[in-house]
Amino acid sequence: MTIIGGGVIGLTTAVLLAERGHRTRVWTRDPVERTTSAVAGGLWWPYRIEPEALVGAWSTRSLEVYEELAADAERTGVRMVEGVHAGLDLDGLGPWAARVRGLRAATPEECADGGLWARLPLIDMPAHLAWLRERLLAAGGTVEERTAKSLDDVLDETPCVVNCSGLGARELVPGDGTHPVRGQLVLVENPGIRTWFTSVDASPATTYFMPQPGRLVLGGTADDGDWSLEPDPAVAKDIVERCARVRPEIAAARVIGHRVGLRPARASVRLEREARGSGRVLVHNYGHGGAGVTVAWGCAGEAARLVAEGTA
């Protein structure tokens, strides 16, 4: 069995399949440490992802797993961290919100403009991806730096393929609407901030900061259709200034790096089995935008179910 894609969706799916007894290999165009997932801020929260009717179940299943993994944060990269979503209220959330223990309205001291307080999984993505890879290898799986030229070519080598190619789906499944949403981040030395903060709306400019080991991650942007992987100095300056309006000590924090990632967005996640005939099984699992880490385990479970049905 071949999983195309070495980001959080592909690795999580591969781990689940390998641990269920499948001979599993991952093809990744880029090293795991250089995938889009490695750039992500890493906060669990259903963010700009459809279909809404399914996202809640995928997200809460992932939440359950991350709550368990947080017991071994040093190895897994998963911690439970408190913070505030500014501008959100409970009435605007789906039924999944009832599963988030302790989710409540923020006090004026926690957020002057109102919002939601929560204790959520905050995932150090480089560490978590490395841990997923090691868990896959321990289950007998393999990871190969190899580019899939076409789905048919991969199916000629192995009769079961799970397409977790993210933005690569543009080449493998042309014309299906997958497109980039550019995100730019600034990494600074943490001046002592221990909680996360987000203020996200429909505009391309979003404001958030995430305390990760050895750094504070500042964001961000959501530029639809922008393919540039070069950090924009003016955008970086604006990100720092916006975050410093929330926590003034950020203004003096030393900048230690810049990151850009292209979220693999689509009108809705594609998670389905496609008939290819001749005993071949193709399952699609892509189009998660910026919420891949939020739904990874839920989508992996559904992909594994589709594989099992297709190979029965």
**Binding site members for FAD:** 36-37, 289-294
Distance CA 105, CA 111 (A): 9
Distance CA 18, CA 141 (A): 6
Annotated binding residues, written as ranges, equal 36-37, 208, 263, 289-294
Annotated binding residues for D-dopa, written as ranges, equal 208, 263, 290
